[in-house]
Every structure is written in C-alpha cells, then in structure tokens.
Structure 1
C-alpha cells in the first residue's frame, strides 16, 4: 500500500493563532475589518504552505484575523478577489495578464480590473516528474502518454496544455487535480508523468522522491527558445543541483513570477502594513518556506502591468524602490 505523507506546516511556529476566529481579532486600527480571507490553492502545491506563512505575519502585524480558502489556484483567486469573495490572493503574472486583458478561455472575455498587486513572491518554474522505471526523461517523450497538469484553474493547468501543443507533443490524456492526488496517481500507475509549476521545491515532488526513484523533466535549449517566443511572459532559468534530493543535474526551465494581490478596496494603510510585515521580515519568512528567499522588495520589477495598491507602493518607495505613478492605482 502506498504511504501518504502529510505536508508539514511552515516551520517558524505556526500555532492555532493563525486559525483564530474573526470574533477574537483585535485590529490595530478600529477602521480595519476584523477578518480577511485569502485564496490559496490545492494541497501539494507551494501556495498551500506559502499563504498561511505570510498570512500569519500579516495577522500578527495588523491584528486582523486571516483565514484561508482552498482554491484551484491563480485563475480562481483572481475571480474571487475581483468579486470580493476573498480579499487577498496569490497569482502568477501570466494568468494575471490574461485576466487584466480579458484573454484566455477561462476569462470568457471579462476583464478583471479590481485586483491590485501587493508584493512579489517567487518565480514559478515549469518542470515535471516521472518514475525512473517509465524511462521518461524529457517533454518530447510524452506523446501518447498520460500526464497530469495540476488543478484546471491553476497556472500549470492553464499553461501546460498550451506548452505541450507548442512543442508538438500530443499526450494520450491530460488529467487535472491537486498535486497530492496526481503524484498518488503516478505511484499507482494511473499516470505516466506529472507536469507542474510552483515554488520549489514543489512539496508533492519532494513527497514522491522519498518513496520512489524518479526523473525530473526539464526543457532543451530549443524548447526554451520556442516557448519564450510563443509566451513572452515566460523567462528562461535554471534549477540548481540540490533543489531536489534525487536531482541528477541542473534543470533548464521556463518560469513565471508570482505576486500577492488584494482587492482595490483594501484600505491604503492596511495594504501598507500587510506589505511591510511580509517584505520586512524576510529572514523569518525564509525559515518558514524556501520559496520566500525570492520574496524581496527589489523584485517588484517583475510586475510591469498590474497596478500596485497605493499602500503597497508606499512601502516599496519607502524601501528605496522607484515604483512609477503609472503603475499605481487605487
């Protein structure tokens, strides 16, 4: 029987306080709401751990209780924030660009213009994993194979089918689901490969490599060139040795940056304090989750189109970064 591993909570001492009831909240400012809700993503991906980690820091700094809603990922987070069904969320910038312009089938032609950027999170590398016994070592070998690509509303679920199509690869089946479910299907022989995009190390990838010998799938130089030409929002990169325990070489990837977002109606001073609480405690944040090593104010430049919330822009400017007025909107 396959053993299941439960993903651990971030390491810096998440206690019951970050699940506190809104009724127990004591906001530092009487004009602030007692509670906010953050859209995260399905179990097995980085958002599920990263969100509560920064949520705790924001809650401690503001006294506003933050709860978490499991979602399908960036697409659904954008929809929920835009509707104010949740006030906070996390997105990849490619999906955010589709939302802003009303492009991509999932938008149904709607423009989601009530979302605002708070702070940069980390790069999302696209890469895959397969059992070593499958013999699969690259994307070109996935023709006629069954592949999983994460939740339908997530970044990999949106982009990976397009990536495979661009590379001329035709899988026999493309399946959607949570990262935890899809690695389970690999172990059960129901899937040949799991293709994903998330902060690294991907928790679900780390889970399966403990239990089985695996190959990590990256891209050839020609594949990287074709993908970055077709999708300008993607950029080339490398995952160094040591990203995963059983990694046998540096991995050539394409990536897309993530940002935390809020609804535009969030008060300026609350947005300021939330942004400050995260970007101002990077050493502590890194102890909680490795992906936080890229959560630095200087990476605000990874966003070139989505307006920053005025409160977030205020903090970034105080930290010495020249966010232009054209990229700030209330």
Structure 2
C-alpha cells in the first residue's frame, strides 16, 4: 500500500513538472508572432527554393505557420525586413552594405539599419549562360547590342552583373525578369544571354539544360582578376558536374548570402529559428545543394552587418566567436 501511494505521489509530481514545463514553454513563446514569412526572390532561382525550404522546415519544427514570398530579391528584402514589412529575408552582402549606407534604390538616401544577420547561407557565383547554337564560347564573343537578361530588377545580379560586363567592355541591351521567365526567353530566342547570379545549381539552368543544349561561359583569368579588383566579390570556380553541361570547372566570381531578420524580433524566436536551420545540415542540403556552405564556420563571412542577438547567442554557443561589438543593441 505504501509503495502504491509513493508511486501515485511520484506520478502526480511528474505530471505537475510536465505541466509547469509546458506552461513555461508557452510563456517563452508569448511574444512570438503567430506566423512568419521569408522574403526570397523570383521563382526558378536558388533564393526561392532555398528560402521556401527553410521556411517550411522552421514552420514544421516550431509548430508555427510559415511560408516564403516571391520578392525582387536582396535589395527589396533588405528594405522589407528593415522596415518590418517582413520578419525574415535573404540578401547578398553587397546589397546589404549599400542598403545600410542609404544606397538602396527602393529607399534612396534612407539607411536601412534594422535588418540583422541571422545565418550564413552560401556564395552566389556570377555565371553566363547561352544556347550552344549561339556560337558564344567566351565573354569576348558576346556581340555589341546582345540582349542580356540580368534577373529581377534590384536583384544582386541586376545590381552588379551589368557593371561587371561593362567593365569587361561588353555592350548590351539590358533585360529584366524572373529566372524561369528569362530561361524560357533564352530558349525561344528572345534574348541572347542570361547573366545569372544565384547559388548553384540554379534551378532554371538545370531545367533549361534538360530541354536544350547550353554553354556555361567561364571568365578568363584576366577577366576574373579585373572584376575582383573593381567589385566586392571574390574569385571562385563553379565545380565541374554542377550542371550536366559543365564538364570542367568554370572560373567565376562570387558574393556571400546571409539570411536576415528584423532586429526587433524576439530573441528566443530567432534563436530557435537559427537552431532549427543550423542544427539539421543534412536536411538543408537536401533542400538545396548550395546549403553545403550553411555552416557555423562561415559565420565569419559577415564582417559588418549587426547580428540579431538570438542568432549571435546560438552561434557563440556552437563554436563561433561573434564579437559583442557586432551584435545589435536596442
């Protein structure tokens, strides 16, 4: 009888602890939003695939409604997240720097400083794609007046690639559009070149090469050096096999991408979001191969954007060394 009473008391105590724990967990979420949206870019690009993937992952694991939204890409995401119109987004570091300095074309003259770094995503290589039938095998082969698609207006590609090609002496007719749309225009002969800036493999390119023969045009060593000297990019190679059409490495340049959060979001919410994404690397790579670079070691690729306190806390707990000076302070 005594043992039975002890078991009953123990069970009651356990139930009370579980109830208290549940109440505490619920209290911890009291200031969380009921849902969230991740600003990505156009469909057919890496941002949309990658962003939709981590939005769905976080929504499932945290039990909160989440989704991705098609946007104009990094510049617009910096504006939408900084103003609080979107809680989360993704950006490349060049547009991030320009936005913080008040040089975002969406809000000219207004420093957008309320978007915080959340986690490193991957590098964005800049690559040129043409139809094999075009006869274009190098940047120098692009004829004056060629119709070149640079992605959505305000995207990283649209911001930097035209300037890069101008630096290399290419004269062109500038076109904009979503990546899937531009790939379709290339296949239909409505444009001559697509200048992609997106994590590889770019879904639109992978789909395009299933339907027709394409060439991925590399930079020469001299062209690469000239671009690296003139723009905030680093030298990189797109590995052979990234696309079926790419049988050897293609010389390129690249820029880092980071997920961003509105700096006013609750610390615990951002902490749990980062923990979910960074804590399941294999699942992220399954969403998109570019996520092989979504690692703690790459946190140091952000040297200027303030970290959200929740993100900084998780990274510092997991081997990073984020300086307190680089953490957003309210």
* TM-score, normalized by the shorter chain, greater than 0.5: yes
Match of 2:258 in 1: 259
Structure 2 residue 81 is matched with structure 1 residue 81: yes
Is the Cα–Cα contact under 8 Å of residues 27 and 34 in structure 1 kept in the other structure?
Answer: no
1:295 aligns with 2:294: yes
Q: In structure 1, how many angstroms separate the alpha carbons of the residues matched to 2:104 and 2:71?
A: 19
Q: Which moved more, 1:239-248 or 1:97-106?
A: 97-106
| Counterpart mapping for 1:222-301 below 5 A | 222-231=222-231, 233-301=232-300
The two structures, once aligned, show a CA RMSD in angstroms of 1.5
Please, which runs of 5 or more residues in structure 2 have no aligned partner?
A: 1-25
> 3-state DSSP class of the match of 1:72?
coil
Contact 1:28 1:62 in 2 (8 A): no
Q: Which structure is higher in helix share?
A: 2
- Structure 1 stretch 156-165 or stretch 102-111: which is displaced more? 102-111
Cα distance, 1:67 vs. partner? 2.3
Q: Offset at 1:134?
A: 0.3
Q: Which residue of 1 aligns with 2:156?
A: 155
Q: CA deviation at 1:286?
A: 1.0
Matches within 5 A, 1:33-182: 33-103=33-103, 105-142=105-142, 143-171=144-172, 173-182=173-182
Query: Unaligned regions of 5+ residues in structure 1, if any?
Result: 1-25
Q: Report what 2:187 is aligned to.
A: 187
1:105 deviation in Å?
4.6
Q: Larger radius of gyration, structure 1 or 2?
A: 2
3-state secondary structure, aligned to 1:191: coil
What's 1:317 paired with? 316
Q: Secondary structure at the match of 1:126?
A: strand
Q: Output the TM-score relative to the length of structure 1.
A: 0.89
**In 1: Cα distance, 2:303 partner to 2:195 partner:** 27
Aligned length: 303
Find out whether 1:328 has 2:317 as its counterpart.
no
1:190-243 Cα distance to aligned partner (Å, 9 max, x none): 111101111100001111111111110121111111111111x20001111110
Q: How many angstroms does 1:64 deviate by?
A: 2.4
Task: State TM-score, norm by structure 2.
Answer: 0.89
SS for the counterpart of 2:273 is: helix
- The answer to whether the 8 Å contact 1:149/1:177 transfers is yes
Structure 1 residues 105 and 222, CA gap change in structure 2 (3 angstroms):
farther
- Relative to structure 1, is the Cα distance of residues 27 and 54 closer, same or farther in structure 2, using a 3 angstrom cutoff? farther
Distance apart, 1:144 and its partner CA:
2.5
Residue 141 of structure 1 and its aligned partner are, at CA, apart by 2.3
Please state how far the C-alpha of 1:283 moved relative to its aligned partner: 1.1
Cα distance, 1:69 vs structure 2: 1.6
- Following the alignment from structure 1 to structure 2, what is the Cα–Cα distance between the partners of residues 55 and 306? 22
Q: Is the 8 A contact 1:28 1:63 kept in 2?
A: no
Q: Over residues 106-145 of structure 1, what are the superposed CA-to-partner deviations in whole Å (9 max), with x where a residue is unaligned?
A: 5522211000000000000000110011011222222331
Aligned partner of 1:202 in structure 2 is: 202
- Who is 1:4 aligned against? none
